[in-house]
Amino acid sequence: MIEIRRSEERGHANHGWLDSYHSFSFADYRDPRHVHFGPLRVINEDRIAGGQGFGTHGHRDMEIVTYVLDGALAHRDSMGNGSTIRPGDVQRMSAGTGVQHSEYNASQQDEAHLLQIWVIPQRTGDLPSYEEKRFVDADKRGRLRVVASPDGHDGSVTIHADASIYAALIDGAEQATLTLPAGRLAYVHVARGALTVNGEALHAGDAAKLSEVDSVTLEKGKDAEVLLFDLGPLNG
């Protein structure tokens, strides 16, 4: 089964300094049909104006992954971490028992464009932690590169959830397929460009929810950058 969600169907909030599209219910956007998919809870596509950002605020019991598409994002947190992430970087913050952090556009002039992803952890009450890794375009060209996983395999960041995240760049004749064991869910988010997912045409901002399928195939890309989520069911 495949369900397509078009870009324009997402929630939208424009705060001037922040232009954000919400794939799932978030902040003032509430849609009971789109609260989560398995443990995948949030995908926000954010465009942050130069010199602007999110002041210090708190999270707990959530796996937070940031994927930068353009520009740079400066991060500071109460664990003592401080870094600037750019396209190719994947940042993971496990909020656990509680963490405070801030995120600002690292440029005073250029817009930052990124995906903020939240995944529900398998358990609550862990100590907060932080990790980031870099994945160059060659790692993702014409293939699914795991960038986050429960065990950190193949150099991916470790998320404490029943979820793995793959990134791919698909263009022309390039094709990538992920095999799904029985009972797994898959979610595909097109960050930019266009391609087909199991034969369905998707464009930037579109998504596909897949269940009861044994594989997911990405092909017929036109400068596509894609995130594919391999998800277990949400328990509890």
Tell me: the pLDDT tens digits for 67-126? Answer: 999 999 999 888 888 899 999 999 999 999 999 989 999 999 999 999 999 999 999 999
Alpha-carbon distance of 120 to 42, in angstroms, equals 9
> Domain span at residue 61?
2-231
Q: Does residue 174 lie within any of the structural domains?
A: yes
Count the Cβ atoms, other than its own, within 10 Å of residue 37. Answer: 22
Query: What's the whole-number mean pLDDT along residues 37-54?
Result: 96
Give the number of domains in the chain. Answer: 1
**151: which residues sit within 8 A by CB, 6+ positions away?**
158
Q: Does residue 6 lie within any of the structural domains?
A: yes
Residue 86 has a pLDDT of 96
Residue 235 has a pLDDT of 57
Average pLDDT, the chain: 95
Per residue in 122-139, pLDDT (tens digit) is 999 999 999 999 999 999
pLDDT value at 149 more than 90: yes
Q: Does residue 73 lie within any of the structural domains?
A: yes
Q: Does residue 236 lie within any of the structural domains?
A: no
Per residue in 205-223, pLDDT (tens digit) is 999 999 999 999 999 999 9
Q: Does residue 143 lie within any of the structural domains?
A: yes
Alpha-carbon distance of 185 to 230, in angstroms, equals 6
Tokens, residue 31:
């849609």
Place of tokens 């598409």: 69
Q: CA-CA-CA-CA torsion for 170, 172, 174, 176, nearest 10 degrees?
A: 50
Residue 35 has a pLDDT of 96
pTM of this prediction? Answer: 0.96
Alpha helices per DSSP H over 34-173? 137-140
Q: pLDDT > 70: what percent of the chain? A: 99
Alpha-carbon distance of 215 to 69, in angstroms, equals 27
Q: Does residue 157 lie within any of the structural domains?
A: yes
Kindly state the DSSP code that residue 153 receives in the 8-state scheme.
G
Q: CA-CA-CA-CA torsion for 67, 169, 143, 65, nearest 10 degrees?
A: 10
Q: What is the CATH number of the domain that holds 95?
A: 2.60.120.10
Alpha-carbon distance of 120 to 40, in angstroms, equals 6
Alpha-carbon distance of 182 to 9, in angstroms, equals 29
Q: Kindly indicate the confidence band of residue 236, based on its pLDDT and cuts at 50, 70 and 90.
A: very low
Residue 87 has a pLDDT of 96
Q: Does residue 201 lie within any of the structural domains?
A: yes
